[in-house]
Amino acid sequence: MMDKRIEEVVNEQLNTELWSSNLYTAFQIYFEEQELPVLALWLKTQGQKKADRMQKLTAFLLRERGTVSIRELAYKAEKWQSPVVALNDLFEHEQYFHKQVCDFMAFVRSTDDSVLHSLVLSLYVDEVHVSDFLVELLRMLVKEWKRQLPLE
């Protein structure tokens, strides 16, 4: 039987991935509409990575005889007024998601579940470094675009 606290925290991360995946899809569609295909493709790839992590977290819960608990998503479609506003929201989301991943990894380190340790390292060790880079890059882009583009 799976430890209830581990089950709860893994489900929380699973739901965070699901919510984040939906937001990335909204960003992807917006940037496609804005004719920014490279950014849209990158966001699509990130959404696919999130879907892969959701599958692996779900498989872990089921294999360990835990319960998978998917919450209802309360999501409203965003209507960004400009690419700068959308990039700023993406930046804020990356900061939030980065903190969630760091908190999840800290929890996992505090457990003695070697299977979970291995899974989480395989899913997130590169994510933390990429997220650090991305947050810094987005911060620079938002500052630069705000200087160059008139805000509507």
Q: pLDDT for 26-57, tens place per residue?
A: 999 999 999 989 889 989 999 999 999 999 99
DSSP characters for 18-65? Answer: HHHHHHHHHHHHHHHHTT-HHHHHHHHHHHHHHHHHHHHHHHHHHHTT
Angle subtended by helix axes 4-33 and 37-63, to nearest 10: 160
Query: What is the reported pLDDT for 109?
Result: 94
Which residue has better confidence, 131 or 27?
A: 27
Q: Confidence class of residue 1 from pLDDT cuts 50, 70 and 90? A: confident
Homologous superfamily of domain range 4-147: Ferritin, core subunit, four-helix bundle (1.20.1260.10)
Q: Confidence class of residue 72 from pLDDT cuts 50, 70 and 90? A: confident
Q: Confidence class of residue 76 from pLDDT cuts 50, 70 and 90? A: low
Share of the chain above pLDDT 70, in %: 80
| Extents of the domains making up the chain | 4-147
Q: Name the token pair of 134.
A: 């991305």
Is the pLDDT at 82 greater than 70? The verdict is yes
* Cβ neighbours around 13 below 10 Å, total: 22
- pLDDT, averaged across the chain: 86
Which residue has better confidence, 7 or 76?
A: 7
Which residue has better confidence, 120 or 148?
A: 120
